Amino acid sequence: MPSRRRLLGAVSASLACVAGCATSDTDTTPGGETITDPTVVRLRNPGGERALVTPRDQTGDGQLIQTRAAADGLSVPPGVSTSDERALDSLLADTAFDRETLFVIEEYPMSCRDYHVQSLYWSPGWIELEYCRRLRPPDVSCVADQRDTVAIVVRVPGEVSRDPIVRTGGNSECPDREYAVIDETPTDGTNATSATATQNATSATAETDTSGGDA
Amino acid sequence: MSQRRRTLLKRGLAAAVVAGGAGWYVRDDLDSRFWLDPPAFDPSGIETVTDTSVPTPPRQVPVSPAPLVEPFERRVESLLGGVPEPVPSDTLPNGAFRTRIAERRTAARTALDRAREADTTVETRDALVAAREQACEAATVWASVNSRTPVTTVVPDRERVRTAVEAAEAALLGPAPSPLVGARVYAALAAPVETNDRVPDADRTDAHSPFEAAETARGLEQTAAHATAARLLATRYAETVSGEPTGSVLAGTVEALGDAVVDRYRTLHRAATGGTPTPRSGGSNWSLLDSPDTDTYVDADVPTEAPSRQLLRDRTWPLFDRFRGPVSAPFAWAYADSDYPALVVRQTHWLLSWHAALDSLRTRIREGLRLYPADATQVRNRRQAAVDAVTRLIDDGNPLEQWVARRLCDAFEQPDDRLAGVTADTVGDDAERDGETVSRRGVAESYATYDWIVTVADATERATATVTEAVRRARASTDENQ
């Protein structure tokens, strides 16, 4: 396996924002509250049917986790990575169920895409998630034309009624301006030479005319 | 609002809804009746309706594509040469990127093969441009996701692209044996440049993802490639012919044709509504491009769903297409200051031919034309008349009419496909299967299309006379100024 390093400063689309990693912006509107960039954990099961099984097992329409006992009843099916599972554990441990609620919903993005939760609007009888889509970083292993199941777990900073109206929407590209890149230089000397040679060859031909006659 | 007035308003709305609904119902019923019980049709001999070959129009660009081949292939290989082949999954684990790169690389190579096998210069050009586009997209995706390939080494520089477009515009004003020959040849070279000559600003390419970046780069590459192709081919053509530069005469022709186009639209509106639309602010004529209700065109005892009236509707709306302008944008009047006068002259000739054909069709419908054939012999005869009409346009040698002939040759494709493989036993009113069965309505619509080909071919002479007169005036004006 050649070495690769993720370049610092690049945006990693797949990193879920776990408890305490970011400060959410809130906007209280009459009857409800909008939170930009809420606290979210995502669990992905590549090619799998489920990414998180809840006690009521009805995550297709979204489900509330309102008690510690309900949180203890969550189970992660095979196929979900341990890092995703650890992120969930961390979120559960840091959630104060006496004044906070978790909302769980499953989505089915393409393997190389993610749904990013841009905002959460909530009121006691209503939960609304606004998504945007983004490509996963180049160093993430994924399969073109395959759908994954992703459980999205969102922390709601308050109590929600047992059966809220749930809305999800948004299919536009996230307004990112940077994206992660790979460093294609491997540690293995042969491949490194090869990669460098490719670059040199490109530079060399550029000195002739590779513009297609546009100039 | 008083209670009484509210009630009246409600009644009025209800009456309007009922009236509208009844109108639709009645009309729909009439249409259905026509096709539920169409006039008799004898299909004997329908197997041979399409036997006569459609003629081959002359080549649009009478020079070899050789000047493009080497630089374009070199560009493609340069772009692809910087991308590992294949991209290893341990180097780039994200399968979406690997797949996109592989697909575009394959498409680029396939397009190069297509270019080598192409029969005409235009086909070769289009395939080579496609190869560059695809290769650029592959290279940009790769450059966008790895740290060692600067994206700027693969994405065409905007200024360079703008320069390429300007150079093409200048070359497209070159010499030709006559202005009309110049209009035909340079228009064929200019058309893809005119469609793609908008170079996006840098902020438009501040992409959200490597895929968006690649699509933007592809657009720039396409613009650059078409511009370069136009310049190289126009230069080669100019070396092979003697004659004066055509730019100023054709620009003058465009100016002279503007009034003729406005006049055609006025005529069309008068035919439809008995008047012309109120000019918009500033007294412009743009309101003429608002589509009238075509069903009011004709006051004749011809069912609304008769093939003739359907043909009239189908051929009228393209004159008011909001996306790309009338039938043939760019055209004189609306594109008076176009950078591509050859293209505007050619397209205006096409537009005027279309208008004249609609005039003729309208007149015949007023006289009772239904365009419902009685038998297969009538269909065969009309198709033969269409073949003869197109052949005549080609043989007459007028450069613009030859281009109309090319468009009309393409118009045979749909009806011919519909009738190919059909036998007298498979003409009926069941669902159609290409190459096997056709409905009586399908036969009638094919017949109507053959009739349209004849109608346009016959009407072209009128358009040619208008354009020829505009060229004469432009020449006279140019001579006066010299």
Among chain A residues, the shortest Cα distance to B85 is held by A198
Residue B117 C-alpha, separation from nearest chain A C-alpha, in angstroms? 20
Round to whole Å and give the CA distance between B120 and B109: 19
Contacts of A207 in chain B (CB under 8 A): none
The number of residues in chain B equals 482
Nearest CB to B95; choose among A111, A137, A183: A111
pLDDT computed for residue B18 by the predictor: 34
Rounded average pLDDT over B354-366: 92
Residue A14 C-alpha, separation from nearest chain B C-alpha, in angstroms? 12
The reply to whether omega before B86 is within 30° of 0 (cis) is yes
Concatenated DSSP letters of B74-109? HHHHHHHHTS-SSPPTTT--BHHHHHHHHHHHHHHH
Closest CA to B444 of B378, B350, B394, B357: B378
Residue A192 C-alpha, separation from nearest chain B C-alpha, in angstroms? 12
pLDDT computed for residue B323 by the predictor: 62
User: What are B230-289's pLDDT values in tens digits?
Assistant: 999 999 999 999 999 999 999 999 999 988 888 888 888 887 776 666 666 555 677 788
Contacts of B68 in chain A (CB under 8 A): 213
Round to whole Å and give the CA distance between B231 and B169: 8
Tracing tokens 């489900």 back to the chain, one arrives at A63
Round to whole Å and give the CA distance between B288 and B285: 6
Contacts of B131 in chain A (CB under 8 A): none
Flag whether pLDDT at B15 surpasses 90.
no
Q: Compute CA B452 distance to the chain's CA centroid, rounded to the nearest angstrom.
A: 16
Round to whole Å and give the CA distance between B285 and B262: 7
Contacts of B93 in chain A (CB under 8 A): 138-142
Q: What is the ipTM of this complex?
A: 0.76
pTM for this structure? 0.81
The number of residues in chain A equals 215
Mean pLDDT by 10 residues, chain A (215 residues): 29 30 50 90 95 76 90 95 97 95 94 94 92 93 95 93 85 79 58 32 44 77
